[in-house]
Chains A and B, each alone.
Chain A
Amino acid sequence: MTNDELIWRIAGGSGDGIDSTSQNFAKALMRSGLNVFTHRHYPSRIRGGHTYVEIRASEENVRSRGDGYNFLLSLGDSFARNPKEGAYYGEEEVKPLSENLDELREGGVIVYDSGLLDTDDIENFDERVEENDWHVYDLDLRGLAKEHGREIMRNTAGVGATAAIIGFDLDYIEELMADAMGGDILDANLDVLRDAYETVQEEYDVDAHDVSVPEGEHEEEQVLVSGSHGIAYGALDEGCRFISGYPMTPWTDVFTILTQLMPDVGGISEQVEDEIAAAALAVGASHAGVKAMSGSSGGGFALMSEPLGLAEMTETPLVLVESMRAGPSTGMPTKPEQADLEHVLYTSQGDSHRVVFAPSDPEECYEQTRKAFQIAWEYQIPVMVIYDQKLSGEYRNVPASFFDQEPNPSLGSTLTEDEIAEAAHDEFGKFERFRHDPENGVSPRSIPGQKGGHFLATGNEHTPEGHISEDPDNRVNQMNRRLRKMRSIRADLDEDERQDVYGDESADFGLVSWGSQTGTVEEAVDRLNENGYSVKALSISEMAPFPERKVRDFLDSVSEALVVEMSTTAQFRGHIQKETGSYGEMLSSLLKYNGNPFEPAEIVEAAEIEIDDRLDEPSSQTRLEPAAGD
């Protein structure tokens, strides 16, 4: 166990305010100069049910959750029901303590609310404490909170106790509280905070353990954002002023953030009857000249297959977000998985094409969403941004200045009326909206209401003027032109020299990942290299058109590679093999699909098994899938 990082876990019942408390504490740690990364675990229930948030804080850059954690603040589930033995949800009240013990590191700290929890209810608690050298603080947080205000403030009491135990300056927390509330509520909360702090300092030996808050300093001001914020802000800065959706976890995150911003920026948000309508609205708004976006999660995206195809055929710019959760069907609403990849790549009838981006952290979410809008409006094609529940809800610090980027309201290949007047019209004066000839596949568009530009957009195959047509020559020309777009887009993307390889250039063993697992894989690379192995990693964040050259270069430079993904059927590995047409015999897979993202140690373990050519089984919650022919 190291002391250069604090991994603080706050656990309680859903609805107990775990989320907001953890966000504030993460911010306080960030403000004190640390890098932070949060990991959120919650059940698909509104109130009650074990939930926790982990904050990893370090002077070092943190890209992932860690292996286990070293500080547990256990509040108890105040909404617990069914305390009966054998009840469906079982022993809920104590779960915030009992469920978390397995991953608590040796020498770790436990603070629990003795006002709600009784350790007698937990099997072998004392033995385990002794075995693991845990330091336990039993505090009546509920009672303390009640004394000064309301029971609900036991979160605040817990944070005050934490600060006393790890030696964290209360100022950071007090400032944040003052920002968030005022009046009596603030006063009461401050009283609770200070009282808990002092009680612990006076009554307990806080030096008995060696978990403490690390020290750090930021060179510039930081902000705490999630992947969903990255996407929302990317859209905003790219001029998106129309968002339509239907709630579905975890897509709701982006939907809500943008809905809150829209009135402020003169935009429109529409919550509609279903996801078919949501995507169709985005198509309609885009057709009428507004940069529009929609999105959903797996089940809702299934309904968007129709409007997605319509956008492609009518060449209406469109950005769709797909925030993955575990499936099939409604699957596990609050758990991440990366198993909608094929769904997103292939849904919709015919030879349909779309661009698919898969960002791996909040900054990339921002950048790729901007890029998504640029490509959609320049090339008149649907562009998808696919990410997952993990990236959607985890927060990390990013330099504030990162977001200080110019807005771009440009409508890409859309003409002004003056340009329409110059553009090609047929012998009857009709604007040739879908001309066959453009080299890059893009025929510039007009917008309803513009003089001289009227045309028919149709999901049926159509002539350059937009008339429905089944003429074979026209069909081939139009299909070829739409196909040419994908090649031009690939060429465009290749111009950005992105650094996607992590680790030692000359390493012989490769790890390949996509999306939200990238940071964890990179952390695993560091550890493997520290352990004497020679490993590097490639993160792929463009799924279509696929960066074939880059992937080939990487795979040619290693003797074998392990593809890490949260799916049962190795969809991502399959995609690489399909797009490159080779490498089957050198790609093995590490798969996880239990509802939780990878921890670095799991990847380290699997890579070591592969590199050392051992026949060991990896930990029970992951699965190694050998290369083709192995």
Chain B
Amino acid sequence: MSAFSAIGNDREVDQNEFTPGIEPQPTWCPGCGDYGVLKALKGAMAELGKDPEEVLLCTGIGCSGKLNSYFDSYGFHTIHGRSLPVARAAKLANSDLEVVAAGGDGDGYGIGGNHFMHTARENHDMTYIVFNNEVFGLTKGQTSPTSPQGHKSKTQPEGNAKAPIRPLSLGLTSGASYVARTAAVNPNQAKEILVEAMEHDGFSHVDFLTQCPTWNKDAKQYVPYVDIQDSDDYDFDVSDRREAQEMMHETEDALYEGTVLTGRYYVEEGRRSYQQEKRHRGSMPEQPLAERYFDDSAEWERSFDYIDRHK
């Protein structure tokens, strides 16, 4: 028996297995987009047949960060902005785990922006969901990196003087090999995209539009979205970086003008994930490292094996 027998058993999984049997009831506000992410994520996991115990969900801090209180798997609710470094190391330590990281736009594009850039560039094999509600939710409505210019809040009473971050373009230029945007108001597309993102072998960045009825009443997130893959108006090749980039710019401009475009923007196949690249270079073992500690027959090199160089 493997030391991690929850991993890789091919059984039918019901999405309700991801619901904690007991409390806590979500503390999210009524109508919050975060419910949509939770639902889509559970559905996607079930569709992929993931055992809850082979999944590690790492979150940051914020309303979004509470996701794993309501999603029953192995979980790590980390600190503000730091879900990615925790998550990617867990994946390096045990490459058989299904690792998903999630957090808000403040968490992911603000305080954790540096980690986002680097995790994307390294192309870690994991999925990153950013709850984009264009506002800081948990700390009560301050302006966030995705808030539009002019957005008024208690900390920017005269209106935000900064232009918003362009998350899709940032994901792409940083090096993510899968970039998509979906929205809580469309659970079916959201589920499909999450399935794809988890199946994708590399860093999948999903900018997930979530409405925050409490602090961001005029967010475009309520507006009916357009699925760019379904619409005849948008024809581009998702594997072409330049075309994807252009489409992203159009989407990012349109959002602040009131048109919500969603779908897959960039899918790069054939590029080695970080783990594969490290293995290819001989700087990471083939077997999941964590298994070794439970393997009685494993050989453990000692410093004495290396002491000759000091004689």
Contacts and interface: CB of A to CB of B under 8 A. Distances in A.
Contacts of A560: none
Contacts of B310: 223-225, 229, 400
Interface string B291-311: 011100010111110110011
B93 A280 contact: no
B23 A284 contact: no
Contacts of A287: 76, 86, 90
A620 to B, nearest CB: 39
B8 to A, nearest CB: 9
Interface in A215-231: 221-225, 229
Contacts of B93: 242, 268, 284-286, 288-290, 292
A376 interface: no
Contacts of A306: 79, 82
Interface stretch (B51-59, B153-161, B165-173, B184-192): B51-59
B52 A454 contact: yes
A22 B61 CA distance: 51
Nearest to B27: A468
A21 B98 CA distance: 50
B2 to A, nearest CB: 9
Contacts of A430: 20-22
Interface in B38-75: 52-56, 58, 61, 66, 68-69, 72-75
A34 to B, nearest CB: 14
Given A280-B85, A288-B290, A270 B306 contact: no
Contact of B300 (A239, A277, A307, A458): A239
Interface string A212-254: 0000000001111100010011101101011010000000000
B256 interface: no
A459 B77 contact: yes
Contacts of A310: 78-79, 82
A284 B58 contact: yes
A276 interface: yes
Interface stretch (A259-267, A324-332, A385-393): A259-267
Contacts of B77: 456-460, 468
A171 to B, nearest CB: 15
Contacts of A449: 3-4, 6-7, 53-54, 74, 94, 96-97, 290
Nearest to B22: A428
Q: Most B CB atoms within 10 A — which of A283, A447, A449, A450?
A: A449
Contact of B85 (A272, A429, A457, A459): A272
B282 interface: yes
B283 interface: yes
Interface stretch (A102-110, A404-412, A601-609): A404-412
Interface string B88-119: 11111110110000000000000000110110
A266 B88 contact: no
Contacts of A31: 311
A20 interface: no
Nearest to B94: A288
Contact of B74 (A265, A455, A459): A455
B115 A273 contact: yes
B58 A417 contact: no
Interface string B1-20: 10111110000000000001
A65 B265 CA distance: 64
A417 B303 CA distance: 30
B89 A416 contact: no
B56 A288 contact: yes
Contact of B72 (A239, A404, A448, A454): A454
A467 interface: yes
Contacts of B37: none
B109 to A, nearest CB: 15
Nearest to A232: B303
A288 B293 contact: no
Nearest to A446: B74
A448 B4 CA distance: 8
A225 B76 CA distance: 39
Given A268-B283, A284-B89, A223 B307 contact: yes
Nearest to A306: B79
A306 B1 CA distance: 37
A405 B20 CA distance: 46
A453 interface: yes
Contacts of B5: 417, 450-451
Contacts of B300: 239, 265, 407, 409
Q: Is chain A's binding surface mostly helix, strand, loop or mixed? A: mixed
B118 to A, nearest CB: 4
Contacts of B303: 232-234, 236-237, 366, 403, 405
A282 interface: yes
Nearest to B282: A263
Nearest to A289: B290
A277 B92 contact: no
Nearest to A244: B89
Nearest to B111: A276
A448 B283 contact: no
A280 B82 contact: yes
A314 interface: yes
Interface residues of B, number: 66
B289 interface: yes
Given A223-B310, A237-B303, A460-B77, A281 B89 contact: yes
B76 A457 contact: yes
B284 interface: yes
Contacts of B56: 288, 448
Given A268-B283, A290-B289, A280 B89 contact: yes
Contacts of B293: 239, 289-291, 409, 411, 414
B289 A456 contact: no
A274 interface: yes
Given A272-B85, A273-B115, A261 B311 contact: no
A429 B17 CA distance: 12
A590 to B, nearest CB: 34
A155 interface: no
Given A266-B289, A411-B293, A456 B75 contact: yes
B278 interface: yes
B270 interface: no
A292 B304 CA distance: 20
Contacts of A296: none
A539 interface: no
A51 interface: no
Q: Most A CB atoms within 10 A — which of B56, B82, B283?
A: B82
Interface in B268-284: 278, 282-284
Contact of A307 (B4, B79, B90, B294): B79
A269 interface: yes
A307 B60 CA distance: 12
A589 B292 CA distance: 49
Nearest to B4: A449
A452 B114 CA distance: 35
Contacts of A232: 303
Nearest to B86: A284
B247 interface: no
A416 B32 CA distance: 40
Interface of B: 1, 3-7, 20-24, 52-56, 58, 61, 66, 68-69, 72-79, 82, 85-94, 96-97, 114-115, 117-118, 278, 282-285, 289-290, 292-294, 298, 300-304, 306-307, 310-311
Given A414-B293, A454-B74, A458-B76, 14 more contacts: A241-B289, A281-B92, A284-B76, A285-B93, A288-B91, A289-B94, A407-B302, A428-B20, A448-B4, A448-B74, A452-B53, A458-B75, A459-B61, A459-B79
23 contacts: A224-B310, A233-B303, A268-B93, A277-B118, A280-B82, A281-B92, A284-B58, A284-B85, A284-B86, A284-B90, A287-B76, A288-B91, A289-B93, A289-B94, A290-B94, A306-B79, A307-B79, A407-B300, A417-B3, A447-B94, A449-B94, A454-B72, A454-B74
List 9 tightest A-B contacts by C-beta distance, closest first. A284-B89, A449-B4, A233-B303, A289-B290, A284-B86, A223-B310, A458-B77, A280-B85, A448-B74
